[in-house]
Structures are given as structure tokens and as C-alpha cells.
Amino acid sequence: MLTEQFSAALKEAVQELAETMLFKEITPGDGQHAPLDQPVDFSAVVSYSGALQGSLCLSGPEKSVLALASSLIGEEKPCMDPDLEDSFSEICNIIGGGVQTRMEPGLGSISMSPPVVVSGHNHLVVARDACYACVSQLFSMDGKPFFTEIFYMQEPAAGGE
């Protein structure tokens, strides 16, 4: 089933990022086949087109996002600045690309947009539409939670079934 493939692709992409670029342990938590609807302080979003219509969103509270972004640049900073914002968007881009690479063999060619960062205390991530399914996955790094969500267009059943 597609939801299990997305879930596995997310976990693998985040683990690859942790091992090859952050050099930190990232622990997967619970996953679900629905949006998490958790208020966050920062989100980064990439859009997919082609064989996959949808988006991937990386989100978390400020402390979690600062820790992730700081790990990539190798410098801790007390608050978000342009360097950390670029780092956070690049992390989303890396995870999004990892999912893209893992899903293309089964789906076909997928294009991905550059990431966009959204900030605002306690915002909800993405407007939901009933035609999009969602796979969400919680993670934790150094005890700080963050999560990913993949929203994708559900295909109508063939022949109207």
C-alpha cells in the first residue's frame, strides 16, 4: 500500500540525513495516516509534481528546528537567523529528495520544488483538502520533537469503482 511506502521512505530519508550530514541520532516515533494537526513555530515545505502530486512538510517547535538547523551548519545559535533558515530549508530539501528518490521506481518521474519556510508561533502547517491523503511521522533528536507530513493526491478508482 502507498501509505506504507511513504512511511518507510520518510524514515529512511531522515535516517540517511542523520547519519550522513547531521551526525546525530534521530529516533522515529509514532506515525499515522492522517495529519498531526500540531501547532508549530517553523515549517519547511517542498511540492511534488509529475507522478506524485502533493507536498512534504518538515515542522517543529522553535527549539527543535534550531537544533536541527544548527546541526547541519555545525554552529549553535540561540534564535533563527538567515543562515539557520537556509539550513532548515535545506534539511527539508534533503528529506524531500530522499523521499523522491525512494518513490520514483514505483511511481515514475517526480519533480520537486525548492523549499519554502513558513514561520509563526503555533501555526498549523498546510491547508488540508479532502482529495489529499496524508502520511505523518514523528521524530526526536536529542529529546526535541519534530515531524514530517507527506500530502499526496489520491487517485480515483479505475473505472469508477
Q: Could you report the per-residue pLDDT of 87-138, keeping only the tens digit for each?
A: 999 999 999 999 999 999 999 999 999 999 999 888 776 556 677 899 999 9
The total of other beta-carbon atoms located within 10 Å of residue 52's CB is 24
Amino acid in the structure at residue 97: G
Report if pTM > 0.85. yes
Residue 158 has pLDDT above 60, yes or no: no
Residue boundaries of the structural domains of the chain: 2-20+33-152
The total of other beta-carbon atoms located within 10 Å of residue 94's CB is 20
Q: What would the grid cell of residue 56 be?
A: 512534504
Span 79-91, mean pLDDT?
A: 96
> What pLDDT, on the 0 to 100 scale, is given for residue 135?
93
> What pLDDT, on the 0 to 100 scale, is given for residue 62?
96
Question: Residue 43, exposed/middle/buried by CB under 10 A (0-12, 13-18, 19+)?
Answer: buried
Q: What is the pLDDT of residues 21-61, one digit of tens each?
A: 999 999 999 998 888 878 899 999 999 999 999 999 999 99
Q: What is the pLDDT of residues 133-156, one digit of tens each?
A: 999 999 999 999 999 999 998 764
In this structure, whether the domain defined by 2-20+33-152 belongs to CATH 3.30.1540.20 is answered with no
Q: What 3-state DSSP class applies to 8?
A: helix
